[in-house]
Chain A
């Protein structure tokens, strides 16, 4: 039985490539969706449907497990615009993202320019700089929280050594966010470097040859040859890093808990607190949609950029 089916299929695919309509439809119908079924089921139930649900919940004063939910319309969104904590969290998140991304792109590019080679030492140095990228933000947050502790930390100890009074970085409102930015940059600079090294390697060497014949300086070469050549990588890195930093949570949760005085209260931290500590589910859903819209706008820019790149 089975052999005849197989030989039939072979005849269809090899000698009568277009096949008879009935047979083609039967062949098209089955295996593809079966292969996709597990992934589609999971993505459907746990990603796609929840996106819509999230918006639905954001229209209610939703309480998990309650018999009936109070319809608010856009009440949660109106409440957001009047909530100083929301504006504070939006500000914290945007400041963190802009400063972190600018620093990461500049530093990552500088490091990548210095470490493009394939020598053994260069590669070891690249590995060392990349290492923090693979470590969990929880471990990193914990270690930096202790390092910056004025009593036991190495940073405070070094202040002590030169006779200065150790600064309580994480408990001073004006210094807490800059400290988080420092740790965020410290963790991801190797990641930015790796992306840029990839971009730099793809630049055709002829472009540099031409520049060298013209006697341009190193700085001029970077500015006029390298940067325009790696424009797609530059935009890719910027957007990826922006999307990541907009989702700032782990470092806040581990290092400051959003304090002192909400100085490091990010959007996702506010979302977590509203939804899973204060159980204001509908309100938290509204915050998640604000985040979603911001990220979608940035992804749309990203897609445009890549399409532009394809046409290139």
Chain B
């Protein structure tokens, strides 16, 4: 009955004749359930990292710790070479992202601004590599790294991933949209191509650069298969590879692994809160792993 009284008021605000209150409530329930489902695992993950084994086994239906213990965070440093894993992840994701930004933007500048023989061919080659599933190249690259002696090294982790076809593609699109008059003017002032690239184009393409940086860092930081293949030395593993390898073999305490997972999630989560629009832009144009 109350629905009948409310309906006309609601209808006036709605574009559709059957957008009744009951439908609106159903939509909100559906979305509400979705939000709870999306967030509860993370709440449980953080809470679990502060719980003791006895608490976990004793109260599996509880979302929150009976009592808070820090032993997960203390032991993760002792049971894993955790500091090393963290450092490796930062070096791998950080250095690779910086190199990718440099190499991709140089390539994009050439493809967007320079005229030379073979430009179309180069662009087609870049597009081809976009479509290749990474797993196809895994075995030959592993063998290449084996012959180079680059397995279990930073250069082995970093160099093969130091450019991304998607980054080149996205930056080229961005550079093309920058008015050519700007670099004409710089050229008349006597600027070289390197100078135009660095002082004219790059500052104007900051949003695209940020998008590529965020997307690359996230994908590299989260990657499992690549570090798993390139490294076997526990001192060279990244966080995801370390957590899975040690998670199976050495660590039986759940809070320890959850603490590791929470710490490995933190940098990405912080970046997400600070630069959400770049995540959304990057992820929705590329499709990620």
Contact = CB atoms under 8 A, between A and B. Distances in A.
A258 interface: no
Contacts of A154: 40, 44, 60-61, 63
A194 B280 contact: yes
Given A134-B272, A292-B132, A195 B17 contact: no
A131 B230 CA distance: 29
Contacts of A129: 34-35, 38
B80 to A, nearest CB: 13
B117 to A, nearest CB: 6
Given A47-B132, A134-B279, A38 B106 contact: yes
Interface in A182-231: 186, 189-191, 194-195, 198, 208, 212, 215, 217-219, 221
B188 A10 contact: yes
A218 B23 contact: yes
Contact of A54 (B129, B140, B272, B276): B140
Contact of A244 (B63, B257, B268, B289): B289
Interface in B128-169: 128-129, 131-144, 146, 159-163, 165, 168
A115 B239 CA distance: 35
A6 B190 contact: yes
A130 B218 CA distance: 14
Given A129-B34, A142-B247, A57 B116 contact: no
B173 to A, nearest CB: 14
The DSSP consensus for interface residues of chain B is helix
B201 to A, nearest CB: 11
A76 interface: no
Contact of A35 (B31, B114, B135, B159): B114
Nearest to B115: A28
B56 A152 contact: yes
Contact of B139 (A30, A35, A54): A54
A271 B168 contact: no
A157 interface: yes
Given A50-B140, A57-B140, A295 B160 contact: no
A39 B163 contact: yes
A164 to B, nearest CB: 12
A151 B228 CA distance: 30
Contact of A49 (B45, B118, B140, B269): B140
Interface in B250-289: 254, 257-258, 261, 264-265, 268-269, 272, 276, 279-280, 283-284, 287-289
Interface stretch (A82-90, A167-175, A247-255): A247-255
Contacts of A268: 135, 225
A64 B146 contact: yes
B224 A146 contact: no
Interface string A32-43: 110110111011
B264 A136 contact: yes
Q: Which of A137, A143, A254 has the most CB of B within 10 A?
A: A143
Contacts of B257: 142
B72 interface: no
Given A42-B159, A136-B221, A212-B16, A198 B56 contact: no
A299 B134 CA distance: 14
Most buried by A among B61, B102, B128: B61
Contacts of B135: 247, 249, 268, 271, 288, 291
Contact of A247 (B34, B106, B133): B133
A138 B62 contact: no
A114 B61 CA distance: 31
A278 B137 CA distance: 18
A215 B222 CA distance: 49
Nearest to B240: A138
B170 interface: no
A215 B15 CA distance: 10
A135 B31 contact: no
A215 B110 contact: no
B193 A31 contact: yes
A153 B102 CA distance: 45
A46 interface: yes
Given A43-B126, A129-B34, A249 B224 contact: yes
Contacts of B138: 271, 275, 288
Given A40-B122, A135-B265, A54 B136 contact: yes
B77 interface: no
Nearest to B130: A299
Contacts of A54: 136-137, 139-140
B244 interface: yes
B269 to A, nearest CB: 8
A166 B57 CA distance: 13
B208 interface: no
B279 A281 contact: no
A138 B34 CA distance: 22
B211 interface: no
Given A38-B103, A54-B137, A129-B38, A160 B60 contact: yes
7 contacts: A40-B122, A54-B136, A129-B35, A212-B16, A215-B17, A217-B18, A275-B138
Task: Across the A-B interface, give the 9 residue pairs with the lowest CB-CB distance, nearest first.
Answer: A157-B61, A32-B116, A157-B60, A136-B222, A240-B287, A50-B140, A35-B110, A53-B140, A46-B160
